[in-house]
Amino acid sequence: MTSPNPPPVASAVGPVLAVRNLVKRFGKVAAVDDVSFSVAGGTFLTLLGPSGSGKTTVLRLLGGFETPDAGSIALGGADIGRLPPYKRDIGVVFQRYALFPHMNVAENVGFSLRQRGVATGERARRITEALEMVGLEGLGGRAPSQLSGGQQQRVALARALVFKPRILVMDEPLAALDKHLRERLQDEIRALQRRLGITTVYVTHDQAEAFVMSDIVAVMNAGKIEQIAAPRALYEAPRTEFVARFVGDSNIFRGPVNESRMRLADGVLIAFAGNGAPPTALMVRPEKIRIGKAGHQNAGDNLLQGWLIDMRFLGDACLYRVRAGAQEIVVRDLNRTDSAHFAAGDEVILTWPAADTVPLS
């Protein structure tokens, strides 16, 4: 605990959690469809995806509340895929907290210790410690119903951590809280996770939340993992159109590809930096595009001429919608002192480097 932010432990001993080819069907629906990922010790991994993409089901399989139809789950090298939940040693924070309404806060937090036969004195000490850890010292005697949503959330976290589980899994724990509290708890949970160095699998449908909190993000779609990468890599180099659209805003281009150029419907060529198989689409982020007055020369591998459909002022930036031939392109221009101002109907030029054009498959 000397360094406040120890980096994720290098996986010299292999991943703490390894999920292989996991499948879970409900009737005809494959809620989890051949999912594989592994998490190194101390890493914070987030499953990010729209509602119904199978995130909760993955967590329920990890927790042992569902049995997989195929695949394996290894925790610390041992297969736990068929163990009942109470033998798994996994701390679970449920979406709606699932605090025991007939027990007070201290009893909730101490529940796991009681199951493990921890003596009364030791138990009281560890309950106090856990409540302090989440900033709820002195509230042990309260009933869960006497706490605010944020406080209940902290109790759930303390309860899931007090028995020092091998890993922590959390299912959209902040979804029910207002934006302000959510952001504060994001920071707190992340700081706590770093301090304890506990391997964590987190679930959210909120891209911003996934990015601020995670070391690694796995984007899920229809029961499959589309891409698993660090937040920056996910944003800068999404591999599929689904990831590009789900993570941040994007402009997507389609057309036949020749070498490292794509020909759009109106004949314009878009350059991209590709070296793999020909992409099915190209993507460029709105903030990578520079917008300038027509006639003004801007540097860039790609250059489109168009006119402004409309403009939205966001405070820190302007969002422009530009019609360029058959394309409608969104540009995000930071609000700098020297930023040019445009109005609807203006002729504009858009430019961006080929390196910022991401090939998608």
Partner 1 sequence: MSTPRGLGLLAPALLLVCVLFIVPLVRLAGLSLGETTLSLHAYAELFGAWSYGGILLRTLRISAAVVVGCLLLGYPIGYVLAFSTPRRRALLSLLVLLPFWTSVLVRNFAWIYLLRDGGVASSFAGTLVGSDQPVQLLYNEIGVMIGMINTLLPFSVFPVFVALAAQERTLREAAASLGASPARVFWTVTLPLSRAGIYAGALLAFATALGFFITPALLGGGRVLMAATFITQQVEEFLNWPLAAAASLILLAAVMILVALYRRIAAFNLPGGEHAAG
Ligand X SMILES: Nc1ncnc2c1ncn2[C@@H]1O[C@H](COP(=O)(O)OP(=O)(O)O)[C@@H](O)[C@H]1O
Residues binding partner 1 (CB under 8 A):
63-65, 84-86, 88-92, 94-102, 111-112, 115-116, 143-147, 149, 152, 159-160, 163
CB of 44 within 8 A of CB of 215?
A: yes
Using the rule CB under 5 A, give the single segment among 48-56, 127-135, 161-169, 264-272 that binds Mg ion.
48-56
Residue 311: other Cβ atoms inside 10 A = 17
By CB under 6 A, is residue 176 in contact with ligand X? Answer: no
Q: Which of 43, 56, 193, 199 is close enough to bind Mg ion by CB under 5 A?
A: 56
> Which one, of 99, 119, 97, 101, lies nearest residue 109 by Cα?
99
- Taking the C-alpha atoms of residue 270 and residue 262, their distance in angstroms, rounded to an integer, is 5
Instruction: Provide the minimum distance between the beta carbon of 26 and ligand X in the complex, in angstroms, as a whole number.
Output: 3
Pick the closer one to partner 1 by CB: 97 or 320: 97
> Which one, of 59, 53, 44, lies nearest residue 5 by Cα?
44
CB of 125 within 8 A of CB of 137?
A: no
Instruction: Provide the minimum distance between the beta carbon of 49 and partner 1 in the complex, in angstroms, as a whole number.
Output: 20
Instruction: Provide the minimum distance between the beta carbon of 324 and ligand X in the complex, in angstroms, as a whole number.
Output: 36
By CB under 6 A, is residue 288 in contact with ligand X? Answer: no
Pick the closer one to ligand X by CB: 192 or 218: 218
CB of 46 within 8 A of CB of 214?
A: yes
47-86 binders of ligand X (CB under 6 A): 49, 51-57
Q: Which one of Mg ion, partner 1, ligand X, none interacts with residue 53, CB within 5 to 8 A by kind? A: ligand X
Pick the closer one to Mg ion by CB: 46 or 56: 56
Provide the Cα torsion 140, 146, 148, 150; round to 10°. 30
Q: Which of 9, 29, 103, 176 is close enough to bind ligand X by CB under 6 A?
A: 29
Size of the site for ligand X (CB under 6 A): 11
By CB under 5 A, is residue 46 in contact with Mg ion? Answer: no
- Taking the C-alpha atoms of residue 318 and residue 320, their distance in angstroms, rounded to an integer, is 6
- Taking the C-alpha atoms of residue 63 and residue 202, their distance in angstroms, rounded to an integer, is 13
Instruction: Provide the minimum distance between the beta carbon of 65 and partner 1 in the complex, in angstroms, as a whole number.
Output: 5
Instruction: Provide the minimum distance between the beta carbon of 173 and Mg ion in the complex, in angstroms, as a whole number.
Output: 11
- Sign of the alpha-carbon torsion through 114, 117, 120, 126: negative
Q: For binding to ligand X (CB under 6 A), which residues are involved?
A: 26, 29, 31, 49, 51-57
Q: For binding to Mg ion (CB under 5 A), which residues are involved?
A: 56
